[in-house]
Amino acid sequence: MPDIVLATFNARYIHAAFGLRYLLANMGDLRERTELREFGISDRSCDVVEQLLAGEPQIVGLGVYIWNVELATRVVADLKRVRPDVIVVLGGPEVSYEVDDQPLAELADYIITGEADLAFADLCRQLLAGEPPQTRIIAAPIPTFTQLQLPYDLYTDEDIAHRVLYVEASRGCPFTCEFCLSALEIPVRAADLERFLTAMQTLLDRGAKQFKFVDRTFNLNLRFSQAILQFFLDRYTPGMFLHFEMIPDRLPESLQTLIRQFPAGSLQFEIGVQTFDDEVGDRISRRQDNDKLAENFRFLRSETGVHVHADLIVGLPGESIESFGAGFDRLIDLDPQEIQVGMLKRLRGTPIVRHEAEWKLTYSDYPPYEILSTGAIDFETMQRLRRFARFWDLIGNSGHFRASRDWIWRGAPSPFASFLQLADEIFQKEQRTHGIALPNLMQRVFEFLVARHPDHTDEIALALWEDHTRNGREDRPRFLRPFNLPPAREMHGPRSTAPQRQARHLM
C-alpha cells in the first residue's frame, strides 16, 4: 500500500504526465512508498477520489495545470469531505502564482510553488516524520540538472508503444514575452549532454519512436541542438518523430545542414511567431527579426521535409483585427503546414497584466482565462475571431482539406478576410462550432466555394473528393454525387508512416 500517491489529470490519454515522472524519479528513499496515477479530464471526480484512496495513502500530491484546475478543485473538495485526514499537496504552474485568490488553494494542506522535483520529496519526509513545516505555501528552490534524477526509466512499455514521450534537454527561456510563463524561467539551464543522450539511447533501445522536446528554445544552444539532431539522425528508423520548439529567427547553416537530411515528416518545429506587428511585439517585450523569420520559413518549406507548426495570438495589447489579419496573410504566404491561432490567455503570474488598464484587456475569470475584449477588438468581434480560430483548426490545420483549402482565398486579396467570411457563413448555418460531422463541414465549404467560383464547380468537387478519400474513405457524400469523379481507390498512393496529424499533410 503506498503512503504517497502522485496524480494528475491529462488532457488526452496520449499525453503522459512528464512532471509527475520527474517527481517520482526524485523521491529517493520514498520512491518505493510512492505510486503514480494518471487520470483524464473527462473522469468523474467521485471515481477519481475512490481510486486515489484505494490504497489508503497518507499524502496525495496533485499536479495542477490550466486545463485541469476545475476537475482538480472538485476532486480535492470531495476527497477532503470523505477523508479529511489525508494530506493534500498541490504543485504545478496553475498554483505557483497568485495563490491567495484560488478556491483550490484554500482546500489544500500544502502548496509547492515553482519546480517541485526535490521539494516534494523533502516535504513528504517531514510530514511522514511528524514534523510538518510551519508554512503551507513552500517556494521550491530552482534545482540544477546535476541534482536531479532523470525520469525516463519511468516510461512504461505501454507509454512507449502508445504515447508521445516528453523529454527535455534544458529548462528556462532567455526571452521575456509577457504573455508566457516561460518569461519567468530565467536563466536557461542545460542537462548534461552525455547523460541525456544515454537516456535517449535507452528509450530507443526499448522501441521508442515519438519524442516531444519541451525545451522552450531548443535552438538557443547550437552545440546542444546540433548534437541532439545528429544523435537522432544517426539512429533514424522509419516512423521516428521529433518535436521541437524553435526560435523563429535563429537557424544558422550548421543546423540547416542537419535538418535537410531528415526524411519528410520526421521533424516538427513549433515556431512561435505570435505577431508580425513590431509595435505590439515591443509592447510585450518580444524580440523578433521578422525578415530573418521569413527567410527561415522559406528554407524549411522549400529545402526540407520539416512539418512547420506556427503560432499566432489573437488579442495582444494594441493588436487590431486589421493588424492581426495582415499578420495571418503574411504567414499564409510563408506556407507552414499548420497555423495555430490561439486566443490570448491571462496566465497566472505573467507580466501581461500590466497592460490591462491601458489597453482595456478583459479576460474570463474561468480557465483557460481567455481574452474577451480589448480596446482594439470588442467582444462581438472577438467572438468572430474565436470562431475563425476554431474553423481554421478544423479546415486549415486538420489536413482534411488539403486539396480544397487554397480555393477559399483563390483570387482574393486577403486569405484572412476570405476565411473569416467562410467561418461566419458556417456558423450562421450550423449555429455551433463543435460537433459538426466532417461530411457536413465539407458540404459547407463546397457551398461557399461554388458561390465564389461558379465557373470552377467541377474542379472544386474533384478537390473535395480528393480530400474526402484521403484517409481511405470510399463513400460519396450526397453533394458530390452529381459529379463524374474517379474511383476512390485511384485517388491516393501509399500512406505515410508519420504521426496521423502530420501524415495528413504529406499524402
Same domain, 245 and 283: yes
Same domain, 295 and 162: yes
Q: What is the CATH number of the domain that holds 124?
A: 3.40.50.280
Distance, in Å, from the CA atom of 441 to the CA atom of 427, rounded to the nearest integer, reads: 11
Residue 388 included in any domain: no
Q: Which domain holds residue 71?
A: 4-144
Instruction: Look at the chain and report how many structural domains it folds into.
Output: 3
Residue 384 included in any domain: no
Same domain, 103 and 191: no
Burial of 413 (0-12, 13-18, 19+ CB in 10 A): exposed
What are the pLDDT digits (tens) for 205-254?
Answer: 999 999 999 998 898 889 999 999 999 999 999 999 999 999 888 899 99
Is residue 464 helix, strand or coil?
Answer: helix
Same domain, 402 and 426: yes
Which residues in the chain land under pLDDT 50?
Answer: 507
Distance, in Å, from the CA atom of 184 to the CA atom of 376, rounded to the nearest integer, reads: 27
Q: What is the CATH number of the domain that holds 359?
A: 3.80.30.20
Same domain, 136 and 159: no
Provide the H-helix boundaries in 273-432. Answer: 278-283, 290-303, 321-334, 379-391, 415-430
C-alpha cell at 193: 549532454
Distance, in Å, from the CA atom of 91 to the CA atom of 111, rounded to the nearest integer, reads: 6
What's the confidence (pLDDT) of residue 1?
A: 82
Give the global pTM.
Answer: 0.92
What's the confidence (pLDDT) of residue 184?
A: 73
C-alpha cell at 86: 489525508
Do residues 197 and 169 touch, judged by C-beta distance below 8 A?
no
Cα–Cα nearest to 214, from 255, 248, 173: 173
Same domain, 173 and 290: yes
What are the pLDDT digits (tens) for 300-356?
Answer: 999 999 999 999 999 999 999 999 999 999 999 999 999 999 999 999 989 999 999
Is residue 425 helix, strand or coil?
Answer: helix
Radius of gyration of the chain from its Cα atoms, rounded to whole angstroms? 24
C-alpha cell at 160: 512507449
Half-sphere exposure of 5 (CA within 13 A, CB side): 21
Which of 144, 177, 210 is a domain's end point? 144
E strand map for 182-315:
189-190, 210-213, 241-246, 267-274, 307-314
What's the confidence (pLDDT) of residue 507?
A: 44
Distance, in Å, from the CA atom of 76 to the CA atom of 417, rounded to the nearest integer, reads: 46
What's the confidence (pLDDT) of residue 501?
A: 52
Residue 350 included in any domain: yes
Same domain, 198 and 234: yes
Residue 253 included in any domain: yes
